[in-house]
Amino acid sequence: MKLIPLPAFQDNYLWLLHDGQRALVVDPGDAQPVLAYRNAPACNSKRF
């Protein structure tokens, strides 16, 4: 299981927990960093 920081806003991070098949983000406040991670070629999970 990995805890992945996603840069958000100007000075903050969203935290994504990923087990290789599923991912969890709690109260992201900004969907764009999460969607960008999900759509990245390195992300093999589409279950969020």
Q: Mean pLDDT by 10-residue block, N- to C-terminus, for the chain (48 residues)?
A: 91 90 86 88 68
What is residue 47's predicted lDDT score, i.e. its pLDDT? 64
Q: Which residue has the tokens 């960008």?
A: 36
Asked whether 20 and 43 are in contact (CB, 8 A), the reply is no
Residue 29 to residue 23: CA distance in whole angstroms? 16
CA distances from 14 to 31, 34 (A): 10, 8
Instruction: Report the SS3 class of residue 32.
Output: helix
Residue 30 to residue 35: CA distance in whole angstroms? 9
Domain boundaries defined on the chain:
2-39
What is residue 7's predicted lDDT score, i.e. its pLDDT? 92
Note the pTM of the prediction, 2 decimals. Answer: 0.73
